[in-house]
Chain A
Amino acid sequence: MPGLRAGVLVSAIIVSAALWASASRFAGAETASTAQGVAAWEQVYSVLTSPRCINCHTATNYPQQGDDRHRHVANVVRGPEGKGVPGLNCAGCHQETNADSTGVPGGHNWHLAPLEMRWQDINDQPLSSAAVCRQLTDRSRNHNLDGPGLLKHHEEEPLVKWAWDPGRRPDGSARTLPPLTHEQFIAATRRWVEAGTPCPTGR
């Protein structure tokens, strides 16, 4: 029987070692995946804070316009639903598509993002990467979207896609595009979602 006991002990040691090694490899993979996810998020963040996106994710009572993100002309205000007010609706200028002959951008259901989805502070400065990430993944503030829901939103929402087809300015020049193509943006969002939508640490 001592031989049998010794055999069981050796087997137990071998199995334990194998499990430890396996667990170590898994932990290493998870760490890499999280790091890759955060890196992918930083690419997503670079798009979200580009003027084509952040101009309508303000923390103030008005939208912004232009690459310098100045206050929207005509004293336009947010209004109760983010669509302006009765005499001064978003839809009073912004039609279903861009109007390149007059330089007015357009898209379906043109409106401001709600205040809970603001990506700026009240001084019009973009929030940090960590803060925007936390907000974007907070289902109480993002229309209850999970990771795949966020990916779908980035893939299909007309006003998101408008950022890559923003039309022409009144002087006829093309509006600046976000720093990634839409395909790159979707790929980065997918990597971030597949990594579990990790956020950077910090404020």
Chain B
Amino acid sequence: MATFQLTVNGQRREVNVDPSTPLLWVLREDLKMTGTKFGCGISACGACTVHVDGVATRSCIVPISHIGDRPVITIEGIGNDAVGRAVQDAWVDQDVVQCGYCQSGQIMSACALLKSTSRPTDQNIEESMGGNLCRCGTYPRIRAAIKSAAAQINKGGA
């Protein structure tokens, strides 16, 4: 066991865990932030996506000892900035969610895309979201919501 200082959604947190513990389990079990989901455990589905220093990161396979002092943003904190708010609003407007299990990861990847590419093409969306699986098949609505959020961001409404 070892003690780690983390910055999660802008707040300093301290945890005492095995250094090999994946970030996902620290978030869910130690910090009780259960918005980030466990899907496959091998980085293949994207349900566990969070941002580490702005990079969309698969928290299920990154040990806590690899995080260092890089800030972590989770689904609980992504709405604190303009892009995150626009994406969440678009998700509601487009009624994207069916069962919802994968959607926190979908939103985190969509925000990473829109923070670097304000006017994404269909190819940008397919490539950036290609690692986020949805067994309900909400992909068309996800695409529509990303375009809607992009339009909102670009007209300065976010």
Contacts and interface: CB of A to CB of B under 8 A. Distances in A.
Given A93-B58, A101-B20, A170-B42, A88 B66 contact: no
Contacts of A74: 43-46, 130-131
A149 B46 CA distance: 40
B72 interface: no
Which of B46, B112, B127 has the largest number of chain A CB atoms within 10 A? B127
A202 interface: no
Interface string B127-150: 111111000000000000000000
Given A74-B46, A77-B127, A95-B62, A87 B22 contact: no
B85 interface: no
Contact of A88 (B56, B60, B62): B56
Contact of B115 (A75, A79, A86, A96): A86
Contacts of B131: 74-76, 87-88
Interface string B36-79: 00000011111001000001111011110010000000000000
Contact of A85 (B20, B42, B124): B124
Interface residues of A, number: 24
Specify the main secondary structure of chain B where it touches its partner.
Answer: mixed
A85 B63 contact: no
B153 interface: no
A99 interface: yes
B62 A73 contact: no
Contacts of A104: 43, 61-62
Given A86-B117, A88-B56, A93 B130 contact: no
B55 to A, nearest CB: 5
Contacts of A86: 56, 112-113, 115-117, 124, 128
Nearest to A96: B66
Contact of B132 (A87, A95, A97, A170): A87
A89 interface: yes
Given A73-B42, A86-B117, A101-B63, A92 B127 contact: no
A75 B22 CA distance: 22
B110 interface: yes
A53 interface: no
Contacts of B129: 87
- Sorting the interface of chain B by its residue count into under 10, 10 to 19, 20 to 34 or 35 or more gives 20 to 34
B130 A95 contact: no
A186 interface: no
B58 A85 contact: no
Interface string A95-136: 111010111101000000000000000000000000000000
B103 interface: no
A160 interface: no
Given A87-B132, A88-B56, A92-B55, A99 B127 contact: no
B88 interface: no
A203 B130 CA distance: 37
Contacts of A87: 49, 56, 109-110, 112-113, 127-129, 131-132
Complex A-B, nearest 7 residue pairs according to Cβ-Cβ distance, in ascending order? A101-B20, A87-B128, A87-B109, A75-B130, A74-B131, A102-B61, A86-B116
19 contacts: A74-B44, A74-B46, A75-B127, A75-B131, A76-B130, A87-B56, A87-B129, A88-B130, A88-B131, A89-B55, A93-B58, A93-B61, A95-B62, A99-B66, A101-B22, A102-B61, A102-B62, A104-B43, A170-B42
